[in-house]
Amino acid sequence: MTAKSLEDIVALCKRRGFIFQNAEIYGGLQGVYDYGPLGVELKNNLKAAWWRSNVYERDDILGLDTAILGHRKLFFYSGHEDTFSDLMVDCRACKHRWREDQLQDGKCEHCGSKDLTPPRAFNMMFKANIGPIEDAEHFVYLRPETAQGIFSNFKNILDSSSQKLPFGVAQIGKAFRNEITPRNFIFRVREFEQMELEYFVKPGEDEKWHSTWVELRFNWWKMQGLSEKNLKLFEQPQKELAHYAKKTVDILYRFPHGFEELEGIANRTDYDLGSHTRAQAEFNLSSKVKSNADSISKLAILDLETNKWWVPYVIEPSAGVDRGVLALLNEAYTEEKLADGKTRIVLKLKPALAPIKVAVIPLARNNEQIVGKAQQLRKMIQAWGLGRVSYEDTGNIGKSYRRHDEIGTPFCLTVDFETIGEDPQKTAHRDTVTVRDRDTLKQERIALSQLETYLREKLQK
């Protein structure tokens, strides 16, 4: 069962410390959110899962981390300065501003008036001044996609590592868009993170690789716990394609507000590498540098077998981290009726993604031996490197279970009198703990000597 509404998720995120409105104490910055102690763990786990499957588990993909501040020329020649715009309209009646394509029947969402200004293009890139002089010339863009950092480093990567086609470069990082109407919590925001992969292939093999990546990425999201019924593919119509794309297939997820894009897989052709190569020729000429083929960074690769230069085509799976977090929260949010008539809220996240893996709870907080053993156990499990382990000492075991159900902790371990050998009836239980499973609510006694193997196996899922 998924969440009832976006409000359920927003409330849980605030209550338990996943996500907060940015600068809330000053009324909040619209379209900007902060990740709390649990949100940062969930987000990091999602990014780590992506990095593992795209970089560590493959021989043909390298990682990269490029700057957020973007050279103006980079975003001029990428086409963003001219075309990265949405059409904006103003309501003459109430003065609210909207993105034209998001309005129903051409009516203002605030007051319902149809008296709107003609649409105007609004460039979504943020500018920032650079250096001590503040004028129209000295500015940079905050990158609207991480991809351009990969294209502009193409030659550096080739020169410093031997690659042949096909190969890819992966990057996770912040992107910024001055969205006209940020909405639906972290779904459409002005500052967000992307997990982007530029996979370089031989022209002619691009369509085959495009289909391969669509399938790989669709299956990857299923492996993170999103159910197939909540996912679907959507091929963007020609008129909606980004300026660089020949074909784009989106992976849509059923968010609380409906099916919307979670990730796009674009065939960017040789648009970017070609454009940045031509741009350098133009740049060298205009700055009167002696121009010849060698002074230009040819963003191409030499095929040693044929001795031919290829400007590779690029297949780009580009996923939003924040949209991924929202999809995972939505999918995992479950309300269950218990036998006693009460409702339990539980986040059924995959153990590998859960912010806290294990909570260690002492049954009696006044018993020094139990407390000591529980603290020692927390340290020991933390050292196994399975992820975050928490020590929970509220004095109310029911309350601790409820909190850990709501934040998706897969296992709660209780240290009790039997663990320390103080129950004369159950001396055989010395050095065992009870392990409570979040999803089945079953409790079993596990020997401390078996605990690492037990947890390691279960938490990998």
Hey, which residues between 158 and 187 contact ligand GAP (CB under 6 A)? Answer: 177, 179
Does 438 help bind ligand GAP (rule: CB under 6 A)?
A: no
For residue 352, give the amino acid letter: A
Q: Judged by CB under 6 A, which of 45, 66, 194, 277 binds ligand GAP?
A: 194
* Between 318 and 414, CB nearer to ligand GAP: 318
* Beta carbon of residue 171, minimum distance to ligand GAP (angstroms, whole number): 10
Q: Is 370:415 a contact under the CB 8 Å cutoff?
A: yes
* Beta carbon of residue 143, minimum distance to ligand GAP (angstroms, whole number): 10
Query: Of 163-171, 289-297, 318-326, 409-417, which segment contacts ligand GAP by CB under 6 A?
Result: 318-326
CA–CA distance, 388 with 373 (Å, rounded to integer): 18
* Beta carbon of residue 324, minimum distance to ligand GAP (angstroms, whole number): 7
Does 358 help bind ligand GAP (rule: CB under 6 A)?
A: no
* Between 42 and 147, CB nearer to ligand GAP: 147
Does 261 help bind ligand GAP (rule: CB under 6 A)?
A: yes
DSSP 116-166: BPPPEEEE--EEEE-SS--SSSSEEEEPS-SHHHHHHTHHHHHHHS---SS
* Beta carbon of residue 49, minimum distance to ligand GAP (angstroms, whole number): 16
* Between 189 and 300, CB nearer to ligand GAP: 189
x/- binding map, residues 114-153, to ligand GAP, per CB under 6 A?
-------------------------------x-x------
Does 189 help bind ligand GAP (rule: CB under 6 A)?
A: yes
Q: Judged by CB under 6 A, which of 149, 168, 320, 387 binds ligand GAP?
A: 320
CA–CA distance, 380 with 144 (Å, rounded to integer): 43
Q: Judged by CB under 6 A, which of 3, 46, 231, 319 binds ligand GAP?
A: 319
φ, ψ at 359 (rounded to 5°): -110, 130
Does 188 help bind ligand GAP (rule: CB under 6 A)?
A: yes
Does 213 help bind ligand GAP (rule: CB under 6 A)?
A: no
Report which residue's Cβ sits closest to ligand GAP.
Answer: 320
Pairing relationship of beta strands 247-255 and 258-269 according to DSSP bridges: antiparallel
Half-sphere exposure (Cβ direction) of 226: Cα atoms closer than 13 Å:
24
Angle between helices 448-459 and 368-383 (to 10 degrees): 40
CA–CA distance, 325 with 320 (Å, rounded to integer): 9
CA–CA distance, 90 with 108 (Å, rounded to integer): 8
* Beta carbon of residue 169, minimum distance to ligand GAP (angstroms, whole number): 13
CA distances (Å), 32 to each of 19, 175, 191, 195, 197, in order?
Answer: 11, 12, 6, 18, 25
Q: Is 228 exposed, middle or buried (0-12, 13-18, 19+ CB in 10 A)?
A: exposed
x/- binding map, residues 265-304, to ligand GAP, per CB under 6 A?
----------------------------------------
Cβ atoms within 10 A of the Cβ of 379, count?
11
Q: By the criterion CB under 6 A, which residues form the site for ligand GAP?
A: 145, 147, 177, 179, 188-189, 192, 194, 196, 261-264, 316, 318-320, 322-323
